[in-house]
Structure 1
């Protein structure tokens, strides 16, 4: 009893059967034919929907007594009750003191998990009620916990999360959970925690916080812009811890300004003036320029548009080159326009030559009709056969239009011989 089961290669179903609770006995298939398929042989999804804590078999607490602490922690975290038969087995294991057989490794793992709970103070209180807290450390009670500091820590952490910071609160949580334990008890607890990076961060927490406080009170933070840079370069975990534990009013006020007042100055960055000078996000130096402007605004500089432009103009990129000329037209419309432009002079020349030819025809002399003696109707009309019709003038060509030949002269009508007079 109390020894972990022997681990050997097995199928995924056999592996899930070794888990502690049904809510932890689910998996997703990675096979090509069923990738993403939920594997839930113990109906863990149904227990999640019903909000119940259920063990997989009757001997769950006998095989691993640390499951008693884990069941209590899950029920407190999610505010879920234990399933009826699970609760009965839990009470039986507690009555039979199975917890006395818990391993040191399991104790260290449970202590470590407390550092990552969203509400560690609530979990510790529930563990103390179930008498599990003294299992983790003999003299550990909620009276040894700095409850005010822990509550303020979680509140400040939430505010930092809302501003985009994600500090790891685990070292500070352990600091406040064990703040009233003696050094030996804390040292023994640190030996059990398997994650040594957490232990080292917990050890160095106070010294690093003192160094940061010293910087905030020294010349490195003489101006708001320098203070901003110091806190921006500090680890978020240090800023979180110092915001809760600082005693100097100057340090407290600077951290408060860092998270509230000074952030509002970012809204005063002169974006219209920067755009006017072509300082846009496409510029590689844009982020640095905007940051430098922000630091100057923090220190109360750049109070007017004139001062702002005076600072920005040397940083502005050269003006963009003029736009290129529009491309030449192509296609049928362009070809027709080019052809019309080429034939326009020739057509004009042809028109002029045609007008000259018409003027020459109009100016040609018409021969006068000879006088005929005798009766007016005695002279016969010229027959159509004897009159040569004038040839029509040729149309002027587009390039070389020749002048039309003058119409041929009409031949004079033949004289009719006089009739001989009769002798009486």
Structure 2
């Protein structure tokens, strides 16, 4: 007599197989291999850039500038000139780089980025930022991460085990951008949210959520193994806030939203005028460097000290929050920081303005707390100013708030930061420093 047990199993196995097929229908398992590879690769690349600029180049340059003010203008101009020459002669389009190239690639080229000029663009970014251009590392980190993600697709797509599709290239592009942002700011959640918000003004790149999450955490841990995982802009936050504070935060968000809108519109007009100008790219960028350097000299002439509105200068966050500065000094710092950023990046400098806007918002928030609210809780309003400016200018309200919480350690300020960011986002309308952003995903 036959054993009925094998027959029973044979009848149930197709059902089990169907359940597993339905559970893993999206082939999410492939990202458990691909996303960590992107995270490690991007994390190592960002570590090299961070060490080259923040540990080796900029501290020495900043110390020399503060001791020899006369060197600021020619020094920044020379760095920008080098960046301009690299972009003009070693890249196919001197005006295409940083986050704009990533967004354009995502929307128009299926995630494809030409990696041949990748080393040249990174060198141009080092020259721009390391010599004192008003920018920071997020530009080369986001662009570099996205380019590496796109490049890895070309290598892994040939291997059947990864089962990569053409659509996956866009996912790997965003995945690499998230990993770059996560590592450079030691803020993995910020990297995820910013990369998902970056292509749109009022939507998310939902398809890249899970791969970006994995790549961001791995990239963060990779950089942390070399440089540590402490918050980049750590400062002490107050224990709480009142309803009165929330009302003031809403007002601050509205004011910064209007300022951000004015800056974005002005920057856009300047950038279009520079691109339309027929002068050689290196000459335009040299002039931008001269004007950037003048902003630094002007501020040091008015307010001698270590605070200066040029360069990556991450230490300025601690100076603004932990050292007393008059409201007038902070307002002038914010104005000259915006001007220096417009001159550097509007002229074609290779990077992005995430940190410059972050610094400006923080300075204006402290000035608002000191002059209007008249409170000792200046760090609360600094956090709100930071998140509001980023939310309004980049159209990334969630990333702005998360960034302030992760990068500064100011988790107690989440609700006030959300209030300011939401108001700033609404007041600033559709004005965005990312001209290639779309409002939302188009229906296919």
Q: Which has the higher helix share?
A: 2
- Rg (Cα) greater in structure: 1
Give the TM-score, by structure 2 length: 0.24
